[in-house]
Structure 1
Amino acid sequence: MRRLLPFLCCLLPLSAVAADRVWIVGGGPELEHSQVQIERNVAFARRVMAERLPRARIGTWFTDGDDPRPDVKEWRRPDEADAALQPLARVLDTYMLNGNGYRNHRLADVDGPASRRAVLEALARGLPALGAGEEGWLVYAGHGSPAARAEGGSRLDLWDHERVTVADLQGVVARAGPPPGSRFRFVMTQCHAGAFARLAWPDGRPPDGRVCGFMAVSEDGLAEGCTADLDAGNYRGYSTYFFAALSGRARDGAPLAFDPDGNGDGRVDPYEAHLYTLVAARSTDIPRSTSEQWLLDQAPWYLPLVPVTPAPDNPFRPLVIELARTLGIDPAVRPLRRAIHPRRLAWSARLKVLSDRQDRHRAAAAGARGVIARELVARFPQVRWPHTLGYARFLREDLAEAQALVRSHPLYVPMREDQDAYWRLDGARLELERQLALLDRLQHLDALARRFDHFAARPDAPAWAAYTRLNACERTPLGDY
């Protein structure tokens, strides 16, 4: 299951009045992959950023801008009724597609399309316009894909299949800012987002702490956050938890799983929102921030083999303990993977069982569907040729009789049960994959804790100094400098 995208300010007039800037970019590369969750993620992020940065200039660039043609796909489970053509759709193997709907986006005040030119020009104009004490935020909600190493390893998949690579954004940041005394932060929620950590250290130079951000997954990871399902209870992507933590409530208004204000200062900074997501999210994402990616990249190869002295202020150890206890794992077992391994084996075996059951249901449904379809086509041969006059005549004159034939067939009910069982098992597999991802996230946090301990024992090391600059950038509350 894939997911999700976020930018800019090229059309915003410059003003002498100091103001932070938020650039939000979203949508899919084309209609079939511009799912409704992306639209809702953009709306949620925009609302939260407006609450937390009330003086900010917020611009939104989404899909095709103001073009009235459909640019959002949504899905709801179709009714099991003749009026919904569901009996016919089941036999023709389009019963899940039968729930698709398409419409124009409902975001008000969209500044323009999510195009390559708009993104790069907006940043090129907006970043240098940041004044002392101001900050810019880039929020991306949509899709991403791998790119060549020369392009930075990843790219944003914008509307109409346009692309912006890590190297493109590195070039803009290097040329345009942020100016001294200002800051630029970003939230990347798409697949393969981790490569964008390099925006904080272009050309491999040590980060100076003026650019930092948060990413839903690693450079080679797939992210949740782009389902077409209208049920918001299924929205588990990074932005669901990150922006909920910043706002102080879940996106549906419910209380948070726990208080993310780790330092007790009465407000949640972006890094606290990120740490909340690492523990609270029940998704397949394994997020990281720029400071965490720096720790991972700079650690020596031999670190897993040597003992480290625990640092008293290690921010990752409490997360390891909390997540381990949630999973019923003893965090004192060393190495931790020894305690994780039995659960991974058991859950992976369970996943294999579910996959095998799915295969059996799919095969059984396909066999029954083939029998019914052959009888349907023998009686109504024009059903084979959609988009023809004969098919239009079939819908007008023979549809009721055809669906009655389908529903009365002795194999129809077993076929429908196998089809439904397949999709129920698909949901069960996703939940189990999320549980397995929690084990991966626990190991990820444990690795970060070891790296923190290693570098904290060498406070004069350049790598540690760069980490502290990045983390200070991430920890600064919104609106503060």
Structure 2
Amino acid sequence: MKHVLFLAASLVFCMYASLAFSDTKVWLIGGGNTLANSQGQIEENVKWLQDILNEKGIENYTYYTNGDDSADDVVYFANPKERDPIHETLLRVFASGLDYAKKTKRNSIGKVDGSTEKATLVASLEAQFALVKPDDKVLIVYNGHGDIEPRDTRKNTLKLWGDTHLTVSELDQLLDKIHPQATVNFVLTQCFSGSFANLIYDNPYSDVRGEQQRCGFLAESDRREAEGCDLGTNEADFRDYTTYFFAALAGKTRLGETIPAAQIDLDRSGDVSLSEAHFYALASADSGDLSRSTSEFILEKEQPWYTRWDSRFTPNNSTYSTIAASVAKRENIAHSGQALAREFYRRLQTERALEHTLKQHADLIKSLQEKLRNQVATTKEAVASLNIEQQKLLAEQLQQLPDYTQLTAEQNHHQDLNANLLEAHRDTAQAEKVLRLNHIARLELHQSRETSGDLQAVSHCEADIAFP
């Protein structure tokens, strides 16, 4: 991981950070929508968040996949020693992608209060939300998958267990069950999560803020995929929004390294607010995510038309421009101007070239698999009907073929190419993040002149919950 440089800057909105946390209640919602799509990293994230909240003494509830069912609900990337050599051989030839390296298990989360199957989850949350008191602070954290409706991203969804879906509108109606005088924060880390910024309004198709004080933080825009759903379970490799955001609130990284207070407690209050955690994530995350907050959503939504292409001036006294400069320094790139734009497009071209290479390589693997199937005169459907002894004989036959040796080498190389593409995507995102943060800094300057009431209220909300 690249060396991270941090800002020592004043935080615009943290003057509102609350010292109280005993009245904060947290709901963790996590897991995939099916076993095949419930990756190990999601489980590790939920377990880690539970540990943080329990250590802080913050009341929390967890809803995860199939609840108290004992069936497997996690799929992960198994190391070679865990794999069955017979099944691995057959899967390399007759399956696709990384199926040959996958295993499933039952989750090891300490406490699960219920399932995320839509009907079950909604009923449980409605009952619990009805008990929230007027002065309570609610934090809802989602670690799972999201889906997009390209024609209208306000219809994007959370993907829940049993391949069920919860739309932005349905979540909005669910949050309405919470007392209108309570403060509601959300941290949504799924793909296409940016559409859920519309929860701050009376409904997703309104421009009027609702009676309830709502705000939140999103891993990505409404049209981009997010990190956080890897098959690997090595926490040292995690670079998703959850990993950085909650490290700031915990005061230490996932690997237990203490984070200096100056990097997270920007207003020196002694606590770390959600908005400070977001700024930490923006500054430190060397990932493919372009994370955002609801206050940034308002800045972009209400931007004057003449600022859309204005890149001539970036204020140097903004938290956003300070973060942009620190990221640019870490990346060894220009922090503004045409040089930055050129670097972004150069990185984007590198990423696209790797995508093309990866596609060509995938085609090579498919051709080798087809060749091997023909050599043993066996189809995928036929393999499923073989008994254990027949599978063993087929695996031994395949292992003796020169094309099988080449296939395993090419599949292993494909993993390396995927890793290279991910790094290239992260590099592109860092340059794009600098561009975006500079743009937000300019919008912030314009909005401060126009004093948006919605912006002030949402910014206040974002800093209202703080962790000691």
Q: Are residues 79 and 86 of structure 1, via their aligned partners in 2, closer, same or farther at CA, if it must alter by over 3 Å? A: farther
1:80 Cα deviation after fit:
11
Q: Percent identity?
A: 26
- 2:34, 2:311 → 1: CA distance? 50
Find out whether 1:217 has 2:212 as its counterpart: no
User: 1:112 maps to which residue?
Assistant: 114
Find out whether 1:472 has 2:460 as its counterpart: yes
User: 1:12 maps to which residue?
Assistant: none
Q: Are residues 156 and 467 of structure 1, via their aligned partners in 2, closer, same or farther at CA, if it must alter by over 3 Å? A: same
Find out whether 1:179 has 2:180 as its counterpart: yes
- 1:65, 1:218 → 2: CA distance? 30
Structure with larger Rg: 1
User: 2:229 maps to which residue?
Assistant: 226
1:261-286 CA-partner distances (Å, limit 9, x unpaired) = 22222322111110111121122111
* Amino acid of the structure 1 residue aligned with 2:145: H
User: 2:410 maps to which residue?
Assistant: 418
| Equivalent residue runs for 1:162-201 within 5 Å | 162-174=164-176, 176-180=177-181, 182-201=182-201
* Amino acid of the structure 1 residue aligned with 2:195: A
1:16-56 CA-partner distances (Å, limit 9, x unpaired) = xx84321111111111111111111111222223334x2x4
User: 1:161 maps to which residue?
Assistant: 163
User: 2:263 maps to which residue?
Assistant: 259
- 1:382, 1:425 → 2: CA distance? 28
Find out whether 1:445 has 2:413 as its counterpart: no
* Amino acid of the structure 2 residue aligned with 1:344: F
How many pairs align? 443
- For the 8 Å contact 2:185–2:215, the answer to whether it is kept is yes
- 1:220, 1:106 → 2: CA distance? 32
- For the 8 Å contact 2:351–2:428, the answer to whether it is kept is no
Find out whether 1:248 has 2:244 as its counterpart: no
1:238 Cα deviation after fit:
1.0
| Equivalent residue runs for 1:34-433 within 5 Å | 34-52=38-56, 54=57, 56-78=58-80, 83-94=85-96, 96-147=98-149, 152-174=154-176, 176-180=177-181, 182-202=182-202, 203-206=206-209, 210-256=213-259, 259-305=263-309, 314-331=318-335, 333=336, 336=337, 338-377=338-377, 381=378, 385-388=382-385, 390-395=386-391, 398-399=393-394, 401-406=396-401, 409=402, 411-433=403-425
Higher relative contact order (CA 8 A, sep 6+): 2
What is the DSSP-based 3-state SS (H/G/I as helix, E as strand, rest coil) of the residue aligned with 2:305?
Answer: coil
Q: TM-score, normalised by structure 1?
A: 0.83
- 2:400, 2:170 → 1: CA distance? 58
User: 1:31 maps to which residue?
Assistant: 35
What is the DSSP-based 3-state SS (H/G/I as helix, E as strand, rest coil) of the residue aligned with 1:185?
Answer: strand
User: 1:11 maps to which residue?
Assistant: none
What is the DSSP-based 3-state SS (H/G/I as helix, E as strand, rest coil) of the residue aligned with 1:186?
Answer: strand
CA RMSD for the aligned pairs? 2.9
Mind listing any 5+ residue stretches in structure 2 that lack a counterpart?
A: 1-21
* Amino acid of the structure 1 residue aligned with 2:240: G
- For the 8 Å contact 1:82–1:403, the answer to whether it is kept is no
Q: Are residues 119 and 311 of structure 1, via their aligned partners in 2, closer, same or farther at CA, if it must alter by over 3 Å? A: farther
- 2:379, 2:175 → 1: CA distance? 59
- 1:368, 1:80 → 2: CA distance? 25
1:132 Cα deviation after fit:
4.3
- 1:367, 1:146 → 2: CA distance? 32
1:317-367 CA-partner distances (Å, limit 9, x unpaired) = 211111122222333x4xx3x122322333233334434443454444444
1:88 Cα deviation after fit:
4.3
- For the 8 Å contact 2:334–2:340, the answer to whether it is kept is no
- 2:417, 2:304 → 1: CA distance? 42
Q: Are residues 151 and 91 of structure 1, via their aligned partners in 2, closer, same or farther at CA, if it must alter by over 3 Å? A: closer
- 2:380, 2:312 → 1: CA distance? 69
- For the 8 Å contact 2:358–2:417, the answer to whether it is kept is yes
1:46-88 CA-partner distances (Å, limit 9, x unpaired) = 2223334x2x431111111111111111112435998355444
User: 1:9 maps to which residue?
Assistant: none
1:369 Cα deviation after fit:
4.1
